[in-house]
Amino acid sequence: MLLVGVLLLLFFNLHLPTAAIDTLTLGQSLLWNQTLVSNGGNFELGLFSPGKSNKHYLGIWYKKISKKTVVWVANRERPILEPSSCHLELSVHGDLRLFSTAPSNTLLWSSNASASSSPSPPRTTVATLQDDGNLVVKSNATRSRSRSPSSTTTTHVAWQSFDHPTDTWLPGARLGYDRGRGVHSFLTSWTDFENPAPGAFSMVIDARGLAKFDLLAGGEHRYWTTGLWDGEIFANVPEMRSGYFTGVPYAPNASVNFFSYSDRLPGAVGNFMLDVNGQMRRRQWSETAGKWILFCSLPHDACDVYGSCGPFGVCSNATNPECRCPAGFEPRSSEEWRLENAAGGCVRRHPLECHGDGFLALPYTVRLPNGSVEAPAGAGNDKACAHTCLVDCSCTAYVHDGAKCLVWNGELVNMKAYAANENGQGDPGLAGAVLHLRVAHSEVPASSTEHSWKKSMVILGSVVAAVVLLLASLVTVVAVAAVLRMRRRRGKVTAVQGSLLLLDYRAVKTATRDFSEKLGSGSFGTVFKGALPDGTPVAVKKLDGLRQGEKQFRTEVVTLGMIQHVNLVRLRGFCCEGNKRALVSDYMANGSLDSHLFVMSGSSSGPDSKQVTLTWSQRYNVAVGVARGLAYLHEKCRECIIHCDVKPENILLDQEMAARLADFGMAKLVGRDFSSVLTTMRGTVGYLAPEWLAGTPVTAKADVYSFGLLLFELVSGRRNSTAPSSSSEGGPGIYFPVHAVVKLNEGDVAGLVDERVAKDADPKEVERLCKVAGWCIQDEEGDRPTMGLVVQQLEGIADVMLPPIPSRLHILAIENEWVRGVPEDERCSKSGSKPETEAIEEM
């Protein structure tokens, strides 16, 4: 009986009780079906199996959220096949050790804490899962002070999981290096969603001591950097100004270089995670939505991740998933691609034979991979370039761009397919370049030389056809002469580049029937309805008073003609004859946004009224469409194009009521006149950013400001400075953005919506639109988001915090006593303040 008692006592000392605890003591074990739970219940440690995998791992995950999300993994490279045979123990040496007893006693993972501690750790050594998600091996030591009865207790940390993160950076954890402690903490992606083994991508701090992080592929190819820390944000992460986290201490010196952060909202659940595709994601858990809300992904474009699609893989933003294999190739591992791990890339369906191989031209423009070599000068055309590659059995691809021949040897990595409206802008030497991949002879379409009898028949047919054509030409000459005479009367239309047309002034007059049908007039001229010679309806803007040189005007127009986007009005052609200038664009059947958004005087009377009130859904889609168009102009074009005149009159609606931004690039066309043109509009338009009026240099953030004011008008259905139909709120002359930002901060946006669509408006979309608008109209450019971030916020991909009230609007709000709870003696003296209309005009 005594022996049984001793064994039972030993059992209870070595194994955990059934109640949840957060700590292991020396010699204690955690069985496979037991877990540690942090004291506050935020995190849990135990065995888990990712996805549909039958392999198990020791990890830490969030305890209180409904979706199991793992933030740390111990045995990343040594999975557990028989979970019932495993246990975790805090050994008598002070190490955390994960053992598997089947088929033999195998050590799967160890913290190796004993390497940095004494051979005999203190009896007070414990392993505790803390409420911040940190698993810590620590011990307490008590020291008596000399000549004093009191004593002090110090804690020695032998090891902690925060020093060894996997793919997730938790608040409070340090990321970087501390050479004094021998710690280098960096993130490494999972291999795929079912395999937490270290993947191809990592996030590391700059090894030279610079205050920045780099994203690396394969540990060596840097494909993105945060930019330098300026004490508030990283240079390439302007989204940090949105306030999604605070307190990022930076501690640089000769041996220490690290960052940590904390969430802005107490009790919030959020983190940074390096995704399997190589993007760094900032996310926050929403209990209401029951999912993770993405704030931003860096880099924004998944195709900017180096080698994300592997060798011979092609990345494209227009496909889902982004990676695909070109013709003649297939995924190296279909199972890995299913798990969204395309790093293995593509392989040829049939092996190369060297002699007899051929080429397949990619039917889309691609970003050319690294590692090309320029062929000898003799390869002066495409055929010679192909021959140069073909005779070299190690050559895998070639490009001839019209001036030089480039060849590649070995695997091609980092190819990106551009959409038709991008044309590889930003990549030098891409214009007109076609990449030819080497493939086996069986993959090349049959050539005509293999069918010589068909060639003979073609020659015979050609002779017969020539005789027929000779007879027909006599009749054709007369018809052509007649057509030429008619064309002289109608004007001349010629192709300049691609589909862009050059029209002489006579052709413009013919297209518009001598400017007979006026569609409207704007800051830069008058718009008329017209038609191209093939019957395509167009809108012709006759530009007034431009003094720009003809050569410069033509150059800028050709550049704009190459820009194509679903949310931009396409430029079809132009006229540049002496001082006569005109732009020919697609005709939008539903006119401009202002004609459908604002109630025009007398617009509702009469059966011929064409005004259609936009539904809330249509308005929200307009907001998203305009944001996408501006983001394209700001971030995707070779040179950033600032619209400078974002307003409802310059937003056109197509047949499906989709938004198309017009008049983009006018600043490039009118040159010096542009500033004075906009300045004259300040009393009537009211969409100008403060920097316009201050005379400071204007950036793309001026468009962001104007877009924010446009969003408020989409919500209210009226001009921002127009008095509402009912003066119950704010009284006559109310400036709507003032009213809106105050209501937004009070949590009451329902009353802001246009009464014509209020019943159908989604309250969450209204709130989101107002929040985005509030950030867009911040006084300082640096506080406004980029249009790329705005698109993500409107699409619900990135969350948006409550914006502060801009100081200019705050002053107006106080002057009109719209800020509730402000003591009278703290409000500005109205006797010395400017009239509201003047203050609005200055904004």
Pairing mode, if any, of strands 659-661 and 651-653? antiparallel
Q: What is the largest CA-CA distance in the chain?
A: 125
Distance, in Å, from the CA atom of 646 to the CA atom of 656, rounded to the nearest integer, reads 21
Cβ 164 vs Cβ 184: under 8 Å: no
Nearest to 642 by CA among 688, 699, 685, 682: 699
Cβ 26 vs Cβ 94: under 8 Å: yes
Residue 745 neighbours by CB under 8 Å, 6+ apart? 802, 805
Residue 682 neighbours by CB under 8 Å, 6+ apart? 688, 693, 841
Q: Which of 645, 663, 703, 783 is catalytic?
A: 645
Distance, in Å, from the CA atom of 120 to the CA atom of 94, rounded to the nearest integer, reads 8
Give me the residues paired with residue 59 across strands.
Answer: 46, 73
Tell whether omega for the bond before 299 is within 30 degrees of 0, i.e. cis.
Answer: yes
Distance, in Å, from the CA atom of 475 to the CA atom of 469, rounded to the nearest integer, reads 10
Handedness of CA 90, 92, 95, 97 (dihedral sign): negative
Distance, in Å, from the CA atom of 614 to the CA atom of 629, rounded to the nearest integer, reads 20
Angle between helices 616-631 and 763-776 (to 10 degrees): 30
Q: Which two tokens stand for residue 762?
A: 């989604």
**Residue 645 a catalytic site member:** yes
Length of the chain: 843
SS (H, E, C) 163-225: HCCCCEECCCCCEEEECCCCEEECEEEEEECCEEEEEEEEEEECCCCCCCEEEEECCCEEEEE
Nearest to 669 by CA among 645, 690, 703, 705: 645
Distance, in Å, from the CA atom of 471 to the CA atom of 474, rounded to the nearest integer, reads 6
Nearest to 164 by CA among 94, 107, 110: 110
Q: Phi/psi of residue 413, each to 5°?
A: -125, 145
SS (H, E, C) 120-180: CCCCCCEEEECCCCCEEEEEEEEEECCCCCCEEEEEEEEEEHHHCCCCEECCCCCEEEECC
Q: Which two tokens stand for residue 506?
A: 């006579």
Angle between helices 701-716 and 616-631 (to 10 degrees): 170
Handedness of CA 25, 31, 37, 43 (dihedral sign): positive
Q: Which two tokens stand for residue 769?
A: 């639109």
Is 542 marked as a binding-site residue?
Answer: yes
Element (H, E) at 91: none
Burial annotation 608-635 (CB, 10 A radius, 16+ → b, else e): eeeeeebebebbbbbbbbbbbbbbbbbe
Q: Phi/psi of residue 80, each to 5°?
A: -100, 125
3-state class percentages of the chain: helix first, strand second, coil last, to nearest 5: 30, 25, 45
In three-state secondary structure terms, 698 is coil
Which positions are catalytic? 645
Binding residues for ATP: 542
Binding-site residues, please? 542
